[in-house]
Amino acid sequence: MRYTFDCDRWGSSFSVPSKVVEKYIKLSEGDFVKVLLCILCSPDRECDSAKLAEKSGLPENTVIDAVTHWVSLGVITAERSDTAKPAQVKAVSTPVSEPEIKAEPVSKVEAVAPKRQSVSNKLCIRYKNSEILEKQQKDPNLAHLFDELQTVLQGTINRTEQGELLALYEYFHFDVASILLAAEYCVSLEKRSVAYLVTVMRGWYEQDICTYPQIEQEIIRLSDIKKYENKVLKIFGQTAKPSKQQLEMIEKWRTMGFTAEMLEIAYNKCVDNTNKLSYKYIDAILSNWAGKSISTPEQVTHEDEKHRTNTKKPQNTDKDADKQTSYDLDDFENFAMNFDLSKTGKL
């Protein structure tokens, strides 16, 4: 469908560098584009975050994220005023340089070290089919990635999914080996979709987990957590998926260093006393043991014996006291049968 626009009816206008549209629109959120338009519309091309927030109708934090985004792409430059508040940023537009994002051979790609507050996780990056095909033909590593992933995930990867994977490789700078390793991890969780893989890897990117060794260590850590969770659920006989609160308790017990044997002892004590599974009750038991540095079954047995000894009622061994609190029924019956009230002198 073709469109015709009557631009003159609006009066004055301002220019937007064509390269911004050609190269960066697909990398940018709508709110970020709104902020850039407000910057370009400013007469002196200089403004602070508070004014941009007022003009765009967006929160100031979003404005600052947008400025950071456009600065990172080289579309504008920004500097903080010495007299301004920390949140105020002055942004001045500059000529747009050639795009800095390039697909490099995997052997030369170095993982970036992004900040935790990076706005990259908000980006929705899209590629044209022709772009994907061209990049795949020029970069054998990319073609290898697509082929291997189809084998690992046991499914065909469509063009949209190829674009998402291309973003991981080209924009987020994950190498082929790292993406394949992450894919194998996702398959171990019975997750075979590209969407799940992309979500996991973007999450790692935001946690500064970007290189192959870092990803490998994170997978080992997550696998250990999963194995521990499975042991707990097996001991508890729990078939339902644990809740978020239950998972937090399980991780707490793992961090405390409690073995499966200790968890089973705590579970049995819980059932003996409550006739049901109670995570809070078990957590109280384990927290009590942790406070007393009890970490073995032998220490639990010793603590139980000590508790029984302390709570056992003391026995009275005083013979005189025993006489005062005890009665010989035979003597009492003989006394009652021979008692003569008239001899007491009291009627």
Q: What is the DSSP letter of 90?
A: E
Q: Enter the pTM of the model.
A: 0.52
- Mode of pairing for the β-strands spanning 76-79 and 90-93: antiparallel
Task: Tell me which of 17-21, 48-52, 103-107, 326-330 is least confident.
Answer: 103-107
> Average pLDDT, whole number, for the chain?
77
What is the per-residue pLDDT across 110-159, written as a single tens digit (0 to 9) for each?
333 344 444 445 556 777 888 888 888 888 898 899 999 999 998 888 88
pLDDT of residue 109: 33
Contacts of 319 by beta carbon, 8 Å cutoff, 6+ apart:
none
What is the per-residue pLDDT across 224-241, written as a single tens digit (0 to 9) for each?
999 999 999 999 999 888
Contact between 266 and 285 under an 8 Å Cβ cutoff? The reply is yes
pLDDT of residue 66: 77
Write the single-letter amino acid at 331.
D
Closest to 250 measured CA to CA, from 276, 268, 266, 228: 228
What is the per-residue pLDDT across 164-206, written as a single tens digit (0 to 9) for each?
999 899 888 899 999 999 999 999 988 999 999 999 999 999 8
Q: What is the DSSP letter of 121?
A: G
As a whole number of Å, the end-to-end CA separation of the chain is 127
Between the CA of residue 238 and those of 13, 14, 189, 255, 268, what are the distances in Å? 66, 64, 19, 21, 14
- CB burial of residue 140 (10 Å; 0-12, 13-18, 19+): exposed
H or E segment at 77? strand 76-79
Per-residue pLDDT for 90 more than 50? no
Rounded distance between C-alpha atoms, residue 170 and residue 101, angstroms: 7
